[in-house]
């Protein structure tokens, strides 16, 4: 049986598919009522499953009933490389955040399964033996791989 978080995530992603648009509007309380959960469960899904690293931008609009805007970021390859390298990766990155970026690139069919698996192996903690600069080394390796994949 799927976890409630997975069900809510799938529902929101289906909203994108149904709208043929890269922006959707939701009301947290209404969605919580629909799934018979606390509004904090909706917040959890939004903050963990719809992050910038995964290709989404969340904006909260207050007043007049309020709503949450979820934007699926455009994936223009000329700007994407720069955005990922400068904004998402930066000078250091954890393994978890790096995998989020790779998952997004894989879901967008920018990298294939084999590239995805190779990149994950290249940046995992066992491969990066040095604990002192592990996240910096991981960021440098990930940047180089993305430069090649998006060129």
pLDDT at 33: 93
pLDDT for 11 equals 95
- Residues 37, 55, single domain; the answer is yes
Report pLDDT digits (tens) over 113-145: 999 999 898 988 888 887 788 888 888 888 888
In a shared domain, residues 106 and 53: no
Q: Give the Å distances, CA to CA, from 24 to 30, 42, 57, 72, 76.
A: 14, 15, 11, 9, 20
Report the domain count for the chain: 2
Q: Supply the pTM of this predicted model.
A: 0.55
pLDDT at 17: 87
Of 10, 22, 142, 120, the closest CA to residue 75 belongs to 22
Q: Point out the domain boundary residue: 72, 93, 114.
A: 72
**85 and 64 assigned to the same domain:** no
Predicted confidence (pLDDT) per residue in 75-119, tens digit: 665 566 677 777 678 788 889 888 988 888 888 888 899 999 998
Confidence of residue 151 (pLDDT cuts 50, 70, 90): low
User: If we measure between CA atoms, which residue out of 13, 1, 21 comes closest to residue 104?
Assistant: 13
Last residue of a domain, one of 42, 72, 102: 72
- Do residues 149 and 115 lie in contact, with contact meaning Cβ atoms separated by under 8 Å? yes
Tally the residues of the chain: 151
> Any idea what the Cα angle at residue 119 is, between residues 52 and 138, rounded to 5°?
70
Task: Examine the fold and report which residue of 15, 39, 72 is the final residue of a domain before the chain moves on.
Answer: 72
88 and 143 in a single domain? The answer is: yes
Cβ neighbours of residue 22 closer than 8 Å, sequence gap 6 or more: 16, 71, 72, 73, 74
Does the pLDDT of residue 10 top 90, yes or no?
yes
């Amino acid at each position: 049986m799927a976890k409630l978080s997975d069900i809510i995530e799938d529902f929101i992603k289906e909203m994108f598919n149904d709208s043929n648009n890269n922006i959707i509007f939701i009301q947290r309380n209404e969605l919580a009522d629909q799934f018979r959960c606390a509004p904090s469960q909706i917040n959890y899904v939004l903050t963990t499953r719809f992050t910038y690293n995964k290709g989404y931008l969340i904006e909260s609009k207050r007043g007049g009933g309020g709503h949450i805007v979820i934007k699926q970021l455009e994936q223009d390859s000329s700007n994407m490389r720069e955005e990922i390298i400068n904004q998402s990766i930066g000078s250091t990155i954890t393994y978890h955040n790096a995998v989020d970026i790779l998952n997004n690139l894989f879901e967008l069919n920018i990298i294939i399964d084999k590239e995805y698996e190779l990149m994950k192996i290249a940046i995992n903690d066992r491969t990066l033996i040095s604990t002192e600069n592990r996240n910096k080394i991981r960021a440098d390796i990930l940047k180089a791989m993305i430069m090649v994949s998006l060129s």
